[in-house]
């Protein structure tokens, strides 16, 4: 696997001059289509980079509203059709139980890019990406900041 030490810049094609990290938030449909090809046998640098962004756990900033101590890492997917940015919790079992007490049939999903890009609806994808931006503290779409949050290295 190639070492990933900076944001991925497209050199050719319709997105030449743009960063993969920014396209995730600006054009998630394109990233979803790229992800479909990632499962092939010939893995290239772009596919390695995309995998790292989707699979890694980001650095969270949003605090769990239930315990007020740890960072929120999960959200409640309501009735298989809605995302409420306030229905989040940390990894603590008690907090998760408290969140689900009024929603026993709903699912707790991780606040990760992979989760956001797995929805079939554009609306849900956009809502999940908004939730991620808030949970990790992204104010402006910037490739270096997104890389730092999701890959874990500071780029100056």
Which tens digits make up the pLDDT trace of 12-43?
889 999 999 999 999 999 888 887 655 655 67
Q: For the segment 125-142, what is each residue's pLDDT rounded down to a tens digit?
A: 999 999 999 999 998 899
Task: Find the mean pLDDT for residues 50-76.
Answer: 93
- pLDDT computed for residue 155 by the predictor: 46
For the purposes of burial, counting CB atoms within 10 Å of the CB of 126, is it exposed (0-12), middle (13-18) or buried (19 or more)? Answer: middle
Q: Which pLDDT value is given to residue 154?
A: 46
> If DSSP codes are grouped into helix, strand and coil, which group holds residue 60?
coil
Edge to edge, what strands does the sheet with 107-110 contain?
A: 82-89, 74-78, 107-110
Mean pLDDT of the chain: 88
Q: Give me the pLDDT at residue 34, please.
A: 80
Q: Would you list the domain boundaries of the chain?
A: 1-60+139-156, 74-138
Q: Which pLDDT band, with edges at 50, 70 and 90, does 151 fall under?
A: confident
Q: What is the pLDDT of residue 153?
A: 62
Mean pLDDT of 113-131: 92
pLDDT tops 60 at residue 144: yes
Global confidence as pTM? 0.86
Pick from 39, 48, 31: nearest CA to 129 = 31
Which range of 37-41, 87-91, 100-104 scores highest in mean pLDDT? It is 87-91
């Amino acid at each position: 696997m190639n070492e990933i030490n900076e944001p991925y810049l497209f050199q050719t094609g319709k997105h030449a001059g743009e960063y993969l990290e920014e396209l995730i938030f600006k054009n998630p449909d394109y990233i979803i289509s790229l992800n479909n090809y990632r499962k092939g046998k010939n893995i290239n640098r772009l596919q390695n980079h995309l995998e790292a962004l989707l699979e890694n756990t980001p650095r969270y900033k949003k605090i769990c509203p239930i315990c007020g101590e740890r960072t929120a890492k999960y959200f409640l997917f309501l009735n298989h059709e809605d995302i409420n940015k306030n229905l989040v919790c940390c990894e603590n079992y008690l907090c998760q139980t408290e969140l689900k007490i009024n929603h026993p049939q709903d699912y707790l999903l991780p606040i990760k890019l992979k989760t956001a890009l797995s929805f079939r609806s554009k609306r849900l994808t956009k809502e999940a990406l908004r939730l991620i931006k808030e949970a990790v503290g992204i104010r402006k779409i910037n490739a270096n900041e997104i890389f730092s949050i999701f890959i874990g290295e500071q780029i100056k």
